[in-house]
Structure 1
Amino acid sequence: MSRPTTLPRPQSVCQICDSIIGRRLYSTKPALSSRIATRPRSQISQNVPRANSSQKRLLASAVLPTKKTISGSSKSRDALEEQDKKVKPTPRSARDELSSVTNMMTYLEKNKTRVLSNRRIPPESDVNAALQACFVLADYIMDDSVQPQISHMIKESDSAAAELLSLDSTKGSRSKTSETMTAHITAQVKRIIDEISNTAYAVLSHPPVFITPELLEKYVDVQARLVRPETFSQIFQLYASKPMPRESSGSISYVAPNPNKVANAIESKVIEKALDVAIEKKNIDAAVGIIENGYGTKAFIRNKLLRRAVLPAGTFAATPFAAYLLASNFSSFQTAMDSASATNVAFVGILTYVGFTASLGMVAFTTANDHMKRVTWAPGVPLRLRWVREEERAALDKVACAWGFREKWRQGEEEGADWDALREYIGQKSMVLDQAELMEGMDY
């Protein structure tokens, strides 16, 4: 039996798929577009229609005919799966850590408990993970662009605030309600910030935790993001004097360290960052404590001598040998005296020239005060101490400039208990605050 010529030709699989899915999507498009402005994004995705299993099979056969270009169906499937993995979004569990205030606190408490509940010496990776969690939350909380989202989280999670809002709105005092809610949200944000700061301090001050330079820098980053410099001096002290844990036969013992060791010196960039936070917060006690436990320690001075004085000292020690070799070579170029006498004369001349020039350079370097603004050295301080303690003087100078008047013509007129205490502290360090001879217009 022959096929009638009047019957329509069958449609292709692509056309069938387009007609089936297109009708469904078209039918829901007006209702979906009308509800976009009033529904959250999570509800919008639920209204999009999904194709059933037969439609998915048709769609797969219609959209993926190019699989044959790759040799073998298994290879094409693997290639497509790899492509899907590349564009796979971030796991929902990682994104949900900051989706609400409760999740934030849970995320923070989980990392804190992992360190504090460990009966053995916590590994550095767990401590670093706890501090990293604090830094992530601190960076999120202190970001101005997410402050409205945090306020919305607090409004949704706090039922008491919602009840207060409804009661006040019935009385018609909407302005008072708004102020109350703003104060409540501010208090909640401050509580979260306090919890993050306290968690970081509790983790690093935990007795079995050994503070490494990386952990100390991470802690300073966390507190700097939160603008909380109050604990920097205590942590700097712990870094140098905290007993080192030792685990043996299931028990932990502690060994008292030497706080003056070179290894216990804090890096200058870490101290500088902590000092900037204290100045930003206008906390003069924290600033002085940071300088005292950072630049003013023997460990920092020894570390500076080891890093910056070894090469000059080695050069100075090798100078006589180099001068004698040069003198012995120069003696062969003359005939006025014997070789031994010429060598001695040349040796003394070279040492005299090098010693005199080096002395002038050292005096000029250690007595230069063009970079000093308000804090200078007291008369009689040895030049070697001026060079060794230059970072401490520069830090105190920075603090004095931050707390004093900006106008140069008003400097020296500051008053108050904090300023008097700072002046007295600087005097105890063999330094002078606002030396009259060096002030502008007082060079008589």
Structure 2
Amino acid sequence: MLRRPYPPSSGLRLCQACELVTGRQWIHSAKRPSAALSLGRRSADMSRATLAWPIAARSFTTSQPCSKVKQPSQTPQPAEASQSRFGRTGGAATYQPPGPDSAAVAAAVDRVLRTFLGPVGIPSEQFTLTALRGIAQIDVRPVPDAGERRSEDAAAEIRRPASQLLGLDGMSPKAGDVARPQRSPAQRSQDVVDKVSDAAYTIVTHPPVVITRNILEEYVRLQARLGRPQSLPQILGLYATKPKPKMASGSIRYVERNPSRADNAVDSAVAETALGAAIEAKDLGAAVGILENTYSSKASLRSKLIKKALLPGFAVAGTPVAIYYAATELAQLQHALEPRIATGFAFAGALCYVGFTATIGMVAHFTANDQMKRVTWASGTPLSHRWLYEEERAALDKIACAFGFSEEHRYGEEEGEDFLWLREYILRRSMILDAVELMPGMN
């Protein structure tokens, strides 16, 4: 008996894990004000009784039994109770701005990974999309800068020599105690982002997973939202080169694929999203890697030929035939020449007119440079090459504008190893960055 690749309960466990992820994070993504987020903006004399609701809400959303929630005292404390003898509030030094719960997020992500990687077999597209979307539902928004500054100010206040005067109350640290450095909310947020990004990468690179268009789009959208474009060039390359799994005799066998096939081309919308994420993250290496695996790949070039050149090619091939039949009909309307001679004259004249007019139109279309800002074609580049690699030139133009100076009068003044490498890379692609003859005032 062959083992079922996925028992019926695997999808249920994955859904439960996704519900647990959303249940833990609903309080962060809700648009109502939270007591934990507004604590730093309240005065220091706020009573402890007003904090009872956020404590209970947080305990409920983290799947803790209600019986374990510790009820705070309902007796209001006077405002002076929160003041120390030196005039500072007791909560000013111990307050930490809200940040993502790294332990809870790690546990939820690990639970989704165990549910997805546990079954043996080839996962379906819907099952993989459910895992990616379950991870993407985790709220990884960065902590506001004001909260981080308040945390740093509080930590600096603790390190002041005046804080040692608290030893008069018997609160001085012991000799053997060592202060452990606490991670700031920004660092905890980055840890959560890295955890979610690595989990998505693990799911997509799992050998039995088939990277479809929907899975690739979901992964690119997730990494773009997280600001982690470093893995996008590799995943875009795996979309065309990853071996395809097949079940044979109860085991999984992998079949090699042809990465140059037209159906392995990345959609233009996905490629644009990935390139925008790399530019926003200021990662030049990732941007060029995305370019080479999308617009510059053989699969993309073949796909463009099929989608945009096949129909016009048939039209060009059928034009002489249509002109000949039209010339034959015109020859029947005159009596000065024989029909055969009149057909030849009409055919030659119409073919020359259409041919010359089409040639002038093609030259005007392929040599237009109004859409070019900084990257232009080198002189002598064939028109067919210009048309075929126009998307690549437009992407390099966007990269050059993003990593260079924004002022037009400073074009060409960029320095640095990275930008010099980009200039040489563009030159090797039969293009020129900041051609002098096309600059303002030089033409």
Normalising by structure 1, we get a TM-score of 0.70
For 1:166 and 1:300, how far apart are their aligned partners in 2? 58
Residue 142 of structure 1 is matched in structure 2 by: 141
Q: Would you say the 8 A contact 2:246–2:253 is kept in 1? A: yes
The corresponding residue for 1:118 is 119
**For residues 242-257 of structure 1, what are the structure 2 equivalents within 5 Å?**
242-257=242-257
Post-superposition shift, 1:336? 1.1
Please state how far the C-alpha of 1:144 moved relative to its aligned partner.
6.5
Equivalent position amino acid for 2:121 in 1: R
Structure 2 match to 1:230: 230
SS in 2 for 1:353: helix
Question: Which whole-Å CA distance do the structure 1 matches of 2:186 and 2:395 have between them?
Answer: 34
Instruction: Give 1:370 shift.
Output: 1.2
SS across alignment from 1:141: coil
Q: Which residue of 2 aligns with 1:415?
A: 415
Deviation at 1:172, TM superposition (A): 2.7
1:171 shift after superposition: 7.0
Q: Is the 2:245–2:254 contact (alpha carbons within 8 Å) kept by the matching residues of 1?
A: yes
CA distance, structure 2, for counterparts of residue 342 and residue 407 of structure 1: 63
CA distance in 2, matches of 1:300, 1:169: 61
Change (3 A) 1:414 1:120: same
The amino acid across from 1:220 in the alignment is V
> Compared with structure 1, are the counterparts of its residues 324 and 279 closer, same or farther at alpha carbon in structure 2 (3 Å cutoff)?
same
| Residues 433 and 99 (structure 1), Cα distance of their counterparts in 2 relative to 1, 3 Å cut | closer
1:166: Cα distance to partner? Answer: 12
- 1:200 and 2:213 are equivalent in the alignment: no
Shift of 1:441: 1.7
Q: Is the 8 A contact 1:278 1:287 kept in 2?
A: yes
Structure-2 separation of matches of 1:110 and 1:103: 11
Post-superposition Cα deviations, 1:184-221, rounded to whole Å, max 9, x if no partner, equal 22221111100100011111111111100110000000
Counterpart-to-counterpart distance in 2, 1:143 and 1:189: 6
Shift of 1:108: 2.1
SS at match of 1:376: strand
The 8 Å contact of residues 142 and 225 in structure 1, kept in 2 or not, is answered as no
Contact 1:108 1:130 in 2 (8 A): no
Q: CA RMSD in A?
A: 2.9
2:53 aligns with one of 9, 22, 40: 40
Q: CA deviation at 1:104?
A: 3.0
Change (3 A) 1:173 1:386: farther
Q: Which secondary structure does the structure 2 equivalent of 1:440 belong to?
A: coil
Q: Secondary structure of 2:238's partner?
A: helix
Preserved CA contact (<8 Å) 1:265 1:299: yes
Partner of 2:216: 216
Tell me the equivalent position of 1:306.
306
* Residue pairs, 1:281-300, within 5 angstroms: 281-300=281-300
Amino acid at match of 2:109: L
Cα displacement (A) at 1:246: 1.2
Q: How far apart are 1:325 and its partner, in Å?
A: 1.6
Change (3 A) 1:264 1:43: closer
Aligned match of 2:265: 265
Correspondences of 1:172-191 after superposition (within 5 Å):
172=163, 183-191=183-191
Residue pair 1:111, 1:129 contacting (<8 A) in 2 also? no
Distance 1:396 1:293 in 2: 13
Q: 1:399 corresponds to which letter in structure 2? A: I
Q: In the aligned structure 1, how far is the partner of 2:237 from the partner of 2:222?
A: 18
Deviation at 1:402, TM superposition (A): 0.9
Q: Residue in 2 aligned with 1:128?
A: 129
1:104-141 C-alpha deviation (Å, 9 max, x unpaired): 3333222222332232112222211111122211xx21
Paired amino acid for 1:305? L
SS at match of 1:309: helix
Q: Is the 1:135–1:221 Cα contact (8 Å) retained in structure 2?
A: no
| Greater helix fraction, Structure 1 or Structure 2 | 1
Q: For structure 2, list consecutive stretches of 5 or more residues without a partner in the other structure.
A: 1-46, 58-98, 166-180
Distance between the aligned counterparts of 1:204 and 1:310, measured in 2? 34
- The one-letter code matched in structure 2 to 1:335 is H
- Over 3 Å counting, the alpha-carbon distance change for 1:425 and 1:333 in structure 2 is same
Answer yes or no: is the 8 Å Cα contact 1:246–1:255 preserved in 2: yes
Aligned CA distance change for structure 1 residues 428 and 205 (closer, same or farther; 3 Å): same
Q: How does 1:11-410 map to 2 (within 5 A)?
A: 37-40=50-53, 101-137=102-138, 140-142=139-141, 172=163, 183-410=183-410
In structure 1, the partner of 2:43 is: none
Cα distance in 2, alignment partners of residues 101 and 400 from structure 1: 38
Partner SS for 1:231: helix
> Residue 331 of structure 1 contacts residue 343 of structure 1 at CA under 8 Å; is this kept in 2?
yes
Change (3 A) 1:419 1:41: closer
Gaps of 5+ in 1: 1-33, 45-97, 156-163, 175-179
CA distance in 1, matches of 2:49, 2:324: 90
Comparing 246-255 and 107-116, the one that deviates more? 107-116
Q: Distance in 2 between matches of 1:106 and 1:400?
A: 42
Task: Give the aligned residue type for 1:310.
Answer: L
Residues 142 and 189, structure 2, Cα contact 8 Å, conserved in 1? no
**What SS does the aligned partner of 1:266 have?**
coil
Higher Rg = 1
Deviation, 1:35, is 10
Give per-residue Cα distances to partners, 1:328-373, cap 9 Å, x unaligned.
Answer: 1111221111112111211111111111111111111111111111
1:14 aligned residue: none
Contact 1:331 1:342 in 2 (8 A): yes
CA distance in 2, matches of 1:335, 1:232: 71
Alignment partners' CA distance in 2, 1:144 and 1:348 = 74
Distance in 2 between residues matched to 1:285 and 1:366, nearest whole Å: 30
Letter in 2 for 1:129: T
**Shift in alpha-carbon separation, 1:38–1:266, aligned structure 2, 3 A:** closer
SS at match of 1:247: strand
Aligned residue pairs: how many?
Answer: 337
Higher RCO (C-alpha under 8 Å, 6+ residues apart): 2
Q: Distance in 1 between matches of 2:288 and 2:388?
A: 19
Q: CA deviation at 1:390?
A: 0.2
Cα 1:42–1:434, aligned 2, differ >3 Å: closer, same or farther? closer
Identity %: 44
1:114–1:126 Cα contact (<8 Å) kept: no
Q: Distance in 2 between matches of 1:41 and 1:401?
A: 47
